[in-house]
């Protein structure tokens, strides 16, 4: 059983993103500029809704979607289970063997099965009451990704859902850290799964003029901190991490990619959609993360920014980073330039990128940052990876409603640190 106050280590990573599936594939794409942003093909549900999107490459859903329950599962549930499978395998965890099923929790963020809800509303409007599925509720509830994972893998510990918009995945990680530090769990599978590429959801952002538009080359449309940015690119994906008490990982001889040294969670208390322009809320969130880990600002070598490629958001975050770090501003980049914005999942993929920057020593750049906005005066990593070998990194996630989450990651303290494929470092 984990003692209260235990350290927390990332021992497994499962990522399914527009730039690929699998931790090494994804990080290699982030380092070398392979974009997952495309024009939706004519047969895609959002082909007539948006110009651009981050669409997953073809994936094998195996027995999940083809089984008896597959027909009633929302895409968010299917993707979450695939990411969970990858993360558990990567961590080398076998439930009932090297982890107690009563001591492993599941915390998954996301907006829930809204595509299923849209389909069912349209079906009822067209065919009447009889068209409504008796499985509608289990298709749309936001706790279903976590619940289905728990059922499939026999995980009987603390299980919950997080709904803090685009901060959901990062907050799931923060909640998992708290659970392990308190001694309530040895291991927590945490992250987010989002499948927002359906007409109604995509069109609300398009009608709000929040999405990138007018680009000849889709790959250039998401350009955080660049003068020509004009909105974000909506994307789908799932990302789950295995967080484990450092003592538990060491006892089973598991290596870690990085430790989650601290976190900050707070609210702007400002506006339903807009960030505080003075950056005070986000800056305080970063300060809390540093204080949680007992780390001075000068020891953080890299920040993976929320950086969505919106006019207001990128400037507000730049101001906040300046306030939080002062004269010790670290290198900064946003990997959303390649993945687009996967909503709650983005925070998990970006936390993984911040962890892998420690493991590999290489920091991914912000691609397409050709002309940095003077209102975003940061040490931008641009055009190519930077060999920084940071001791600590920070990952920011901000959501509608003023939700702020910052995750502080440090060098893994497990006896055997995880290694990446050498090709990722080229």
Q: Can you state the angle between helices 168-181 and 344-360, rounded to 10 degrees?
A: 60
Q: Please tell me which residue in 190, 248, 285, 306 is annotated as part of the active site.
A: 306
248 labelled catalytic: no
Asked if residues 308 and 336 have their Cβ atoms less than 8 Å apart, the reply is yes
Listing DSSP states for 113-171 in one string gives SHHHHHHHHHHHHHH-GGGS-TTHHHHH-TTHHHHHHHHHHT--S-EEEE--GGGHHHH
> Does the active-site annotation cover 380?
no
Do residues 404 and 276 lie in contact, with contact meaning Cβ atoms separated by under 8 Å? Answer: no
Residue with tokens 């190519």: 384
d(CA 275, CA 297): 23
Rounded to the nearest 5 degrees, what angle is found at the Cα of 421, between the Cα atoms of 293 and 255? 40
Cβ proximity of 278 and 319 under 8 Å: yes
Residue tagged active-site, from 248, 341, 368, 380: 341
Distance, in Å, from the CA atom of 156 to the CA atom of 150, rounded to the nearest integer, reads: 7
Helix, strand and coil content of the chain, in percent to the nearest 5, comes to 40, 20, 40
Q: Is 271 tagged catalytic?
A: no
Residue length, the chain? 426
Q: Indicate the angle between helix axes 280-293 and 311-325, nearest 10 degrees.
A: 40
Instruction: Return the closest-CA partner of residue 339 out of 303, 366, 321.
Output: 366
217: nearest Cα among 17, 32, 33, 38: 38
Angular region, 370: left φ>0, alpha ψ -120 to 50, beta rest: alpha
User: Measured between alpha carbons, how far is 381 from 388 in angstroms, rounded to an integer?
Assistant: 10
Give the catalytic positions in this structure: 166, 306, 341
């Amino acid at each position: 059983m984990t003692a209260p106050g235990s350290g927390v280590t990332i021992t497994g990573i499962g990522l399914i993103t527009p730039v690929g599936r699998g931790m090494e594939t994804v990080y290699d794409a982030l380092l070398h500029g392979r974009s997952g942003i495309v024009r939706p093909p004519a047969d895609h549900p959002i082909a007539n809704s948006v110009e651009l999107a981050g669409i997953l490459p073809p994936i094998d859903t195996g027995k999940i979607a083809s089984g008896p329950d597959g027909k009633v599962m929302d895409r968010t549930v299917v993707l979450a289970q695939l990411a969970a499978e990858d993360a558990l395998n990567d961590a080398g965890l076998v439930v009932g063997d090297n982890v107690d099923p009563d001591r492993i929790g599941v915390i998954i963020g996301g907006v829930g099965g809204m595509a299923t809800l849209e389909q069912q509303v349209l079906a009822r409007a067209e065919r009447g009451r009889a068209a409504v599925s008796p499985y509608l509720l289990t298709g749309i509830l936001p706790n279903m990704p976590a619940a289905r994972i728990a059922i499939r893998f026999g995980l009987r510990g603390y299980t919950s859902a997080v709904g803090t918009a685009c901060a959901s995945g990062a907050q799931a990680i923060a909640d998992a850290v708290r659970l392990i530090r308190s001694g309530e769990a040895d291991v927590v599978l945490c992250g987010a799964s989002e499948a927002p590429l359906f007409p109604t959801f995509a069109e609300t952002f398009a009608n709000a003029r929040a999405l990138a538009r007018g680009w000849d080359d889709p790959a250039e449309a998401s350009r955080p901190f660049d003068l020509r940015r004009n909105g974000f690119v909506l994307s789908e994906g799932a990302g789950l991490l295995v967080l484990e008490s450092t003592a538990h990982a060491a006892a089973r001889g598991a290596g870690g990619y990085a430790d989650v040294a601290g976190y900050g969670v707070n609210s702007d208390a400002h506006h339903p959609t807009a960030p505080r322009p003075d950056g005070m809320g986000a800056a305080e969130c970063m300060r809390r993360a540093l204080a949680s880990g007992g780390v001075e600002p000068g020891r953080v070598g890299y920040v993976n920014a929320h950086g969505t490629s919106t006019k207001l958001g990128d400037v507000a975050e730049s101001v906040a980073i300046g306030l939080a770090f002062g004269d010790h501003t670290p290198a900064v980049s946003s990997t959303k330039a390649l993945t687009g914005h996967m909503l709650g999942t983005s925070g998990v993929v970006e936390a993984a990128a911040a962890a892998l920057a420690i493991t590999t020593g290489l920091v991914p750049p912000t691609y397409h940052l050709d002309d940095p906005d003077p209102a975003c005066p940061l040490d931008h990593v641009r055009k190519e990876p930077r060999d920084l070998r940071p001791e600590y990194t920070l990952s920011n996630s901000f959501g509608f409603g003023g939700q702020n989450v910052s995750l502080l990651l440090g060098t893994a303290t497990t006896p055997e640190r995880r290694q990446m494929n050498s090709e990722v470092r080229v």
